[in-house]
């Protein structure tokens, strides 16, 4: 009788963890290359239905490349323009409201003194507050994304190459689905479908939130409502904390422009809009498209933001879906892991 010995489970976990750390460290080291390539991949997946529709209409071969490429370039240049405008506007606003902020600090000190809590430590803390620091943080986030888009030539070349290879790549996957690795091909197809559904739903409801946010900011007379609406749309792709990032600039401007009352109204408006649209309505349309639990979504944000910076935060969900497809969904024995990260019991499993 043959004595088959397998590695201890703990050792396997440690080896897998070490491999993941080394892989992520390698990706971070070449993030300036990997980031644009992954962004190009997500953009190509987003416009893939257009290519499929053209192919079903028997459109000329050159349109299967030109039309998706044009759409991707339009998206790229649009994002670059918005981010450039955001950085410029936030840099200008940081120096415009210094006097108003000083007046608010004095008012806060007087109010604290009337309540009998005007200690020296509180006064010192109020004096150290600087709106410029908040704007610098937001400008740094936008500048980080803009730095990725500065490699525009690389992104365009990669997108063009993917558009040219899309047809042959699809043919290879179709042939391998029947003879080679059907489970891997199925996992990659599921990744593409889930990513597109996530992008479509997030974009649609992000636009709804952005329009409502712009309307609320316009009523409250907060400066640059259109800019903050676009920022709300972009940050909608950042899970968990995107809402807070998009709220900070208009809330701060509301405080400087109209005082604490406007600040509270801006926060209340954003919270109501976010709760109704993104917490009550959006999940019904998104359903189980993401396939990640709340905990895994948050961990994905932390990991990919650490590895790829601001771009990793924006692409956290698609990158986690790709990782799941390659490591879990393609593995016949990975059902338990898929159930673990999705927070749902496997089909046919016992509760």
Work out the percent of the chain whose per-residue pLDDT is above 70.
71
Q: How confident is the model at residue 1 (pLDDT cuts 50, 70, 90)?
A: very low
Range(s) of the domain holding residue 150: 31-342
Mean pLDDT of 279-306: 78
Mean pLDDT of 328-336: 75
Residue 3: the pLDDT is 45
Mean pLDDT, the chain, whole residue set:
76
Residue 218: the pLDDT is 92
Say if 26 falls within a structural domain. no
How many domains, in total, are found in the chain?
1
Residue whose entry in the numeric block shows the structure tokens 């080679």 = 180
Q: Whole-model pTM? A: 0.77
Mean pLDDT of 282-304: 77
- For residue 295, how many C-alpha atoms fall within 13 Å in the half-sphere facing its CB? 5
Residue 115: the pLDDT is 58
- Pick from 28-37, 169-178, 203-212: least confident: 169-178
Say if 197 falls within a structural domain. yes
- Encode burial over 295-334: b for 16+ CB neighbours within 10 A, e otherwise: ebbeebbebbbebbbbbbbbbbbbbbbbbbbeebbbeeeb
Say if 139 falls within a structural domain. yes
Say if 348 falls within a structural domain. no
> How many Cβ atoms are within 10 Å of 117's Cβ, its own excluded?
9
Say if 1 falls within a structural domain. no
pLDDT at 268 over 90: yes
Mean pLDDT of 7-18: 78
Surface-to-core class of residue 1, CB atoms within 10 Å of its CB (0-12 exposed, 13-18 middle, 19+ buried): exposed
């Amino acid at each position: 009788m043959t004595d088959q010995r397998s590695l201890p489970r703990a050792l396997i976990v440690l080896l897998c963890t070490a491999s993941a750390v080394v892989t992520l460290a390698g990706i971070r080291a070449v993030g300036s290359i990997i980031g644009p390539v992954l962004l190009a991949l997500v953009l190509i997946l987003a416009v893939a239905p257009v290519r499929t529709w053209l192919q079903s209409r028997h459109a000329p071969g050159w349109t299967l490349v030109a039309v998706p490429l044009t759409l991707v370039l339009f998206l790229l240049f649009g994002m670059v323009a918005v981010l450039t405008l955001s950085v410029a506007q936030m840099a200008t606003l940081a120096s415009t409201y210094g006097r108003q902020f000083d007046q608010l600090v004095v008012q806060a000190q007087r109010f604290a003194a009337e309540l009998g809590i005007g200690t020296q430590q509180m006064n010192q803390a109020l004096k150290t507050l600087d709106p410029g620091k908040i704007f610098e943080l937001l400008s740094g986030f936008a500048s980080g994304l803009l730095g990725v888009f500065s490699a525009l030539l690389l992104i365009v070349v990669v997108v063009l190459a993917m558009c040219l290879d899309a047809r042959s790549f699809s043919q290879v996957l179709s042939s391998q689905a029947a003879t080679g690795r059907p489970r891997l091909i199925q996992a990659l197809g599921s990744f593409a479908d889930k990513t597109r559904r996530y992008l479509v739903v997030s974009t649609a409801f992000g636009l709804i939130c952005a329009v409502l946010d712009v309307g609320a900011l316009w009523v409250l007379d907060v400066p640059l409502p259109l800019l903050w609406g676009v920022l709300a749309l972009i940050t909608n792709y950042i899970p968990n904390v995107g809402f807070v990032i998009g709220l900070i600039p208009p809330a701060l401007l509301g405080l400087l422009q109209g005082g604490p009352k406007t600040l509270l109204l801006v926060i209340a408006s954003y919270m109501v809009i976010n709760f109704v649209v993104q917490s009550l309505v959006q999940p019904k349309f998104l359903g189980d498209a993401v396939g990640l639990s709340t905990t895994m979504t948050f961990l994905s944000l932390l990991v990919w933001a650490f590895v790829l910076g601001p771009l990793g935060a924006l692409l956290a969900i698609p990158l986690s879906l790709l990782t799941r497809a390659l490591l879990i969904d393609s593995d016949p024995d990975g059902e338990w892991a898929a159930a673990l990260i999705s927070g749902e019991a496997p089909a046919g499993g016992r509760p």
